[in-house]
Every structure is written in structure tokens, then in C-alpha cells.
Amino acid sequence: MNNIYSYPKTKLEKYFLSIGEKKYKATQVFEWLYIKKERDVNNFSNLKKEIREKIKEDFSFDMPIIKKIESDVDTKKYLFELSDKNYIEAVVMYHNYGISLCVSSQVGCNMGCAFCESGRLKKVRDLETFEMVSEILLIEEDIKERISSIVIMGIGEPLDNFENIKDFINIINDPKGLAIGIRHITLSTSGIIPKIYELMELDTDINLAISLHAPNDELRNKLMKVNKVYNISQLMTAIKDYTKRTSRRVTIEYVMLKGINDSKEHAKELSRLLKGLNVYVNLIPYNETNHLNFSKSSKKAINDFCFILKDQGINVTIRKEFGSKISAACGQLRSKEVEK
């Protein structure tokens, strides 16, 4: 049975037309699901009883369950149990400009980045659209506040689950859905270049973030397996094409790993690589995990790195550290539960 939270409004319109009803019924259903947050179809009072019964017959309203919550000063991490007993996680971050939520797109990840806890347990399956939408709905219900921005950079590679991601974005961006502005949605990819071009063809204003983490192929090959398929040169070309087509600036994510990619020479090399591109760099202090042999760069190393980029005319910020007192590394809470 299809889950109703997997249906963007356009697909729901086709459904209603297929059963001989007017397509505006889809808008009415969306208002109940996402504006009034009503899960019981019996309460959809502006729909005829026969339609309500048909919806119950054709759709599931099931959601994952919140298994565990860990809290820090400005962060809450949620562990979800899915219907097949797999686990995913999502992280709420409180900023002075609003509340952002980092959502997962897969159970595990096959990208195999050396420093990443998410990929250590490998991909089990893609998340269905409704499972991603549920992350937002269940967390909003728990915190009793509205999520103002979404980052798709939790467990998984979003562009490896592209069809479900497209439906997810449609639902959360829809004015009758969760009404999250497209410029408040960021998709992070390790660099699956053909899918970046497919994303470009959607003509959307979504924010694109590239997980780079190294200024040259030799180092990136060691850190990120995807680079052996789509190297840095190809990635830079894709970034140029993306910014030209969309007129949107691309974020370059760079996790700071002690003694690995954080030297002044690495900073100078990264500056040369990005010179003239419409990008800005987000330096990310590494969240350490017991399972992987990487350490966080010192504050001095991060600040020195940042200064060199700025001095070379590169736009750069240092990401605020979130969740240092909880299972902060992406996938860490899930792996703890799985390994029990």
C-alpha cells in the first residue's frame, strides 16, 4: 500500500482524477496533512465519506517512531526506528535566525568516505519519500515549533536516491505542504556528477553543497571513493556549469582533519582550485568517533586555514560546532543502536 506522505500534490491530483474526482481534492488533503497536521482521514471534514473511505483503502498513513532523543544546548538528535526495524537519525540545530533540521536520505551509505561514521555500516536501502517527510513532521510535533530550513546531509547520499528526493523537495516546498522556501533547502552531495546535471535541469533554486574535503585528487582519492569515478577537475566543471545555469552560489564543505587536510599548503592549494568560482567554503570542525582513526583539527589550524582562504579572496566561514556533548558525528547514534 502506498503511503500518502510519499505523494507530492501533482501525483495526488492524478490519483483523484483516476478515481473520477476533481483534482482540487489533492489541495484539500494537503491542507489537512501539512497545515492542520491531521493524520486521521476520518477528520477530513470537507471530503465526502465515500472519498475518505477510498483514501483509507488506497493509502497508508504510517510513520516511523522516535526511538531516542539526545539533547545539547543548541542541538537535539533524533533516532528513528523504521517499520523494517532499521534506524535513521536527524538533527535539530537552533540558530539565531531560526531552526534548521538535518535529515537523512538513506539507511546507511555506500559512498565509503573514510572519515564518515554514516558509511561505516554501508547502505541498507533508500529511504522512501514518506520516511523523509516524517522526520520533519514528527520533530515539529515534538519541539512544538516550525522548522525554518532543511539540510539534506544526514545519513546517505541524496543524489543516490534522486527520485524520492525530488518528491520530498516538492512536498516540503509546496505552499500547501510544509511551505519551506526553496532557498531554505540545501542538498549536500559527495559529487555524483550526472545527478548534479539532472538537478540542474529541474530549474530549482535549491542550495547545492559539495562535500570536497581535499584540494587535490591524490588526497581526495584516499578520503572519498567517489573521487575515483568523478575527479576534482570534473567536479569543478560541474560547479561552473551549475552556477552559470542557476545563478546560485555553491557551498564547498571542507571537514577539518588533523594532520590530513588542514595544513597551510592545503589552504593555498584549495584557494587556487576555487579562485574565480561562485562558491563559498564552509570549514567544518570534525566530530570524532571511536570507530574511525581521525581527529579534529586544532582551533589554531582551522583559524589559520580560514585566514589564508580569506587572504586569497575566497569567501569562507567556520561552521559553529553543534552537539559536542551528544552523539554528534553523523550516523553515530544509529551505529550505537545497531551494534547493541
Q: Which residues are catalytic?
A: 89, 330
Q: Which residues contact 11 (CB under 8 A, 6 or more apart)?
A: 167
8 vs 17: CA distance, rounded Å: 15
Distance of CA 122 to the CA centre of its chain: 17
Long-range contacts of 12-16 (CB under 8 A, 24+ apart): 15/58
Q: Work out the burial of residue 196: count CB atoms within 10 Å of its CB; fewer than 13 is exposed, 13-18 middle, 19 or more buried.
A: buried
Q: Cα torsion for 212, 214, 220, 225, to the nearest 10°?
A: -30
Helix (H, G, I), strand (E, B) or coil at 244: helix
The backbone torsions φ and ψ at residue 177, rounded to the nearest 5 degrees and listed phi first, read: -95, -130
SS in 3 state form for 26-52?
HHHHHHHHHHCCCCCHHHCCCCCHHHH
Distances from the Cα of 22 to the Cα of 19, 47, 68, 243, angstroms: 9, 11, 42, 40
Cell of 123: 547502505
Q: Which residues contact 155 (CB under 8 A, 6 or more apart)?
A: 88, 89, 104, 105, 106, 107, 108, 109, 118, 330, 331, 334
In this structure, how many other beta carbons lie within 10 angstroms of the beta carbon of residue 218? 10
